[in-house]
Structures are given as structure tokens and as C-alpha cells.
Amino acid sequence: MKSDSVKTVRIAEMLASEWCSSDGDKVESNSRMSWFSSISSAGKIHQIQNVDSRKEKEEMALRYSSCRPIDIDFIKMGKGLFYGG
């Protein structure tokens, strides 16, 4: 997910998000989301947002916050998750 163009990176992240969610096989989908979250902050956000349990979302956010890559969007998501704003 590297490019000199922010627009290209955002489109690649959007396509990867769709790819991660498109498979009916839960194991395959989880594998794809794990890969995406390991290379992109947007992947981490996508994976956290797809979890139903608030507690699990908080645990994932804390775990992912200690790993690169993170960006301002991840920080904003975490702030919203923990502080509601």
C-alpha cells in the first residue's frame, strides 16, 4: 500500500477492505483481514469495525496501537472508541 499518491493508497485500501469482506468463508476472511491489518492502518481500523463486541474492539485497538503501521485515522478511531468523540 505504498504510493506517492494519497488517492491511490486510499483506493487500494478500499479495494483491500472489500476483498477482505467478500468471501463467505469466515476463516479465509479472517486470514485476509489479518494480512491487511499487518500492512495498513486502514486494515486495522477495518478489522476492529467488523467486530461486534465493544470489549473485543477495545482490546484489539489497544493491541494494534502497539504495532506499526498506525496513522492519524487509527488514532481518531481509537479516540472515538474510548472517549466517544
Query: 1 in a domain, yes or no?
Result: no
Query: 29 in a domain, yes or no?
Result: yes
Query: 76 in a domain, yes or no?
Result: yes
Distances (CA, A) of 64 to 37, 41, 44, 48: 9, 9, 7, 9
Query: 48 in a domain, yes or no?
Result: yes
Q: Can you give the residue range of the structural domain that contains 65?
A: 6-83
Measured distance CA(4)–CA(21) in Å, rounded = 27
Distances (CA, A) of 28 to 15, 19, 79: 16, 11, 30
Query: 41 in a domain, yes or no?
Result: yes
Specify the pLDDT at position 79: 92
Specify the pLDDT at position 76: 92
Q: Which residue has the cell 485515522?
A: 73
- pTM value > 0.95: no
Query: 34 in a domain, yes or no?
Result: yes
Considering its fold, how many domains does the chain have in total? Answer: 1
Q: What is the pLDDT of residues 29-69, one digit of tens each?
A: 778 877 877 788 888 988 888 889 999 999 999 988 888 88
